[in-house]
Amino acid sequence: MYLFDTHAHPHLCTDTPLNALVDRAKAAGLVGMMSVAIDLDSARDAIQQSEHYPGFIWPTAGIHPTSVADDDQITELEAIIQAHDVYAIGECGLDFYRDTNPSAGLQTDYFRAQLDIAKRYDLPVIIHARHADAELVPILLDYPDVPKVIHCFSSPWSVVEALLDTATWFSFTGIVTYTQYDPEVVERLPLHRMMIETDCPYLTPLSHRGTANEPAFVSAICSQIAAIKSLTPETVAAATTQTAIDFFKLPTAVPAT
């Protein structure tokens, strides 16, 4: 079984050294993971990690909506993209969960600027959206052909429906293992539009509750999605891994079974 974690934050997994995270991920059947940036520093970290684990850790560069500020991080972001191989822009998006978050105007400016960069450099986008469905959908409809994945997707089916005709994928975390999870979206969404992710160190799957999340635990999310969709974990693993490799245009192939 070959698994891929499309959304990990190794630089935030401070409980565990990176080599242990990678060893345990490989032992759990992972063939790779995206190291997802939340700001310029973590983008540089992700690039460094990918140099230590070539072909396994793939870096992204982007500015999370809670990392935006009244300065010009976009120029530097573009410089990073020009100087290094990165495989996605992100995570970027909108987060209106806390009143203390940056203003909607600033978040929107940064989000659109990053979608524009993705379009210009032919890169896919990893999107973070929290309490922002109403604002998110019209922005994404302005970029129908830019490949994008909404990470930690936990919005209702109506949001999927609004975006199904655009180049949008939906990625699921350990939230699908929680007892209060409503499985409707996972049931209805075609497998080929799905990806799986840990978002580690956050959102530990139920089966590993009490420990920090890590890429190895993506297998628990795979199993839960398989159970909801009445498929085998092998089928879900093979499909979501291939989708991730194609989406991020990774110069790698899934090892033959």
x/- site string to Zn ion, residues 195 to 234, per CB under 5 A? ----x-----------------------------------
Distance CA 112, CA 137 (A): 13
Q: How far apart are CB 7 and Zn ion at their closest, in Å?
A: 6
Distance CA 169, CA 49 (A): 26
Q: How far apart are CB 62 and Zn ion at their closest, in Å?
A: 10
Q: How far apart are CB 255 and Zn ion at their closest, in Å?
A: 27
State yes or no: cis peptide before 201, omega within 30 of 0.
yes
Distance CA 70, CA 30 (A): 39
Q: How far apart are CB 230 and Zn ion at their closest, in Å?
A: 29
Judged by beta carbon, residue 199 or residue 214, the one nearer Zn ion is 199
Q: How far apart are CB 153 and Zn ion at their closest, in Å?
A: 12
| Contacting range for Zn ion; rule: CB under 5 A; set: 72-80, 167-175, 193-201, 214-222 | 193-201
Judged by beta carbon, residue 5 or residue 199, the one nearer Zn ion is 199
3 by Cβ neighbours in 10 Å (0-12 / 13-18 / 19+) ranks as: buried
Q: How far is CA 107 from the centre of its chain?
A: 19
Judged by beta carbon, residue 73 or residue 235, the one nearer Zn ion is 73
Judged by beta carbon, residue 47 or residue 92, the one nearer Zn ion is 92
Judged by beta carbon, residue 39 or residue 199, the one nearer Zn ion is 199
Distance CA 6, CA 28 (A): 15
Distance CA 111, CA 78 (A): 14
Q: Judged by CB under 5 A, how many residues of this single chain contact Zn ion?
A: 1
- Which H or E run contains 119? helix 104-121
Paired residues of 35 in beta bridges? 8, 59
Would you report the helix, strand and coil content of the chain in percent, each value rounded to 5? Answer: 45, 15, 40
Residues 77-106 contacting Zn ion, CB under 5 A: none
| Contacting range for Zn ion; rule: CB under 5 A; set: 22-30, 104-112, 173-181, 194-202 | 194-202
| Contacting range for Zn ion; rule: CB under 5 A; set: 96-104, 156-164, 175-183, 192-200 | 192-200
Judged by beta carbon, residue 9 or residue 229, the one nearer Zn ion is 9
Q: How far apart are CB 197 and Zn ion at their closest, in Å?
A: 8
The residue nearest Zn ion at its CB is 199
Q: How far apart are CB 216 and Zn ion at their closest, in Å?
A: 17
- Which H or E run contains 31? strand 30-35
Distance separating the N- and C-terminal Cα atoms of the chain: 8
Judged by beta carbon, residue 49 or residue 229, the one nearer Zn ion is 49
Q: What is the DSSP letter of 5?
A: E
Distance CA 79, CA 8 (A): 23
Binding site for Zn ion (CB under 5 A): 199
